[in-house]
Amino acid sequence: MDQSPGSPDSTAAAGGTHGCYRHPDRETGIRCTRCDRPICPQCMVSASVGFQCPECVREGSGTGRAARATRPRTIAGGTLTEDPRLVTKILLALNLAIWFAVLGAGDWLVNELDLVGSLRYQGIGEGVAEGQWYRLLTAMFLHQQVMHIAFNMLSLWWLGPPLEAALGRVRYLALYLLSGLGGSALSYLLAAPNQPSLGASGAIFGLLGATAVLMRRMDYDMRPVIALLALNLVFTFTWGNIAWQAHIGGLVVGAAVAYGMVHAPRQHRALVQRTTCLVTLLAIVAVVWVRTLQLTG
């Protein structure tokens, strides 16, 4: 995206680093172009020139059709919402509801919803290769161990809201689902056909990759997110019973989708973002199709 006079880089250079007026613990070099208050990525809303704070947006948004058409948006083009955590809350509730359902139903529900390539070699004949493609999606919301769901949901609550605020609800949900599906697809491709896997880790790693992309786009200090990513990758490859394929697949897809969303040129933003999501989805489908041919050919 071309740098304008009110872009983050030029604003930071002019105003220095200060705490966000709504989140004082978050340092930022970006200021509202109307009231000059420092704003962090969660609070900033993209305007025709630079960024504005939520209060200035609400004051100047109006209620008419013309006002709605020119209303400032987030850095990725999303609309400003009263609750920037709504989708994250829904995802948390869905994961927890399925976890409680598993506690009540037992292992048979896990066996019906987890990700397994094929069990035909064990004489059962079920799995993604046998046409149960829903497992690629349902496995993303499935957990058994308390520590597993606790870690994933804490990570979702920490990483999700800033991304939801920056991307907007629809883009954020697309990022989450594509990241999870990317993790499932790579697990399906590389793991043993009869090796079951489950959990939201692929989607969580996608959010982590997207956070890195967003922080780089906003010219923030990358050291904390790089350290967090490195630590998670160490755990991925050193702890037992971890589907590293899901983590890597989610990370790559999340970073790629986020890059297309936050770097799309404003004049073609919707087209670039939709194309990015469509190409990513087609790539996931292609991986699943190739692996299915391998297992059934």
Per-residue pLDDT of the chain (297 residues; tens, 9 = 90+): 333 333 333 333 334 567 888 888 887 777 787 777 888 877 877 665 567 788 877 766 544 444 444 455 778 887 777 788 999 999 999 999 999 999 988 888 998 999 999 988 776 778 999 999 999 999 999 998 899 999 999 999 999 999 999 999 999 999 999 999 999 999 999 999 999 999 999 999 999 999 999 999 988 888 989 999 999 999 889 888 889 999 999 999 999 999 999 999 988 999 999 999 999 999 999 999 999 999 987
**48 flagged as catalytic:** no
Within 8 A by CB and 6+ apart from 54, the residues are 22, 43, 45, 80
CB count, 10 Å around CB of 25? 7
52 beta partners = 45
**18 flagged as catalytic:** no
Catalytic residue among 155, 184, 187, 201: 201
Catalytic residue among 118, 247, 263, 268: 247
Task: Please indicate, yes or no, whether the overall pTM of this predicted structure exceeds 0.75.
Answer: yes
79 beta partners = 73
Q: Can you give the three-state secondary structure of 124-172, one letter per residue? A: CCCCHHHCCCCHHHHHHHCCCCHHHHHHHHHHHHHHHHHHHHHHCHHHH
**Domains present along the chain, CATH in parentheses:** 8-69 (no CATH), 86-296 (1.20.1540.10)
Among candidates 273, 163, 277, which has minimal Cα distance to 211?
A: 163
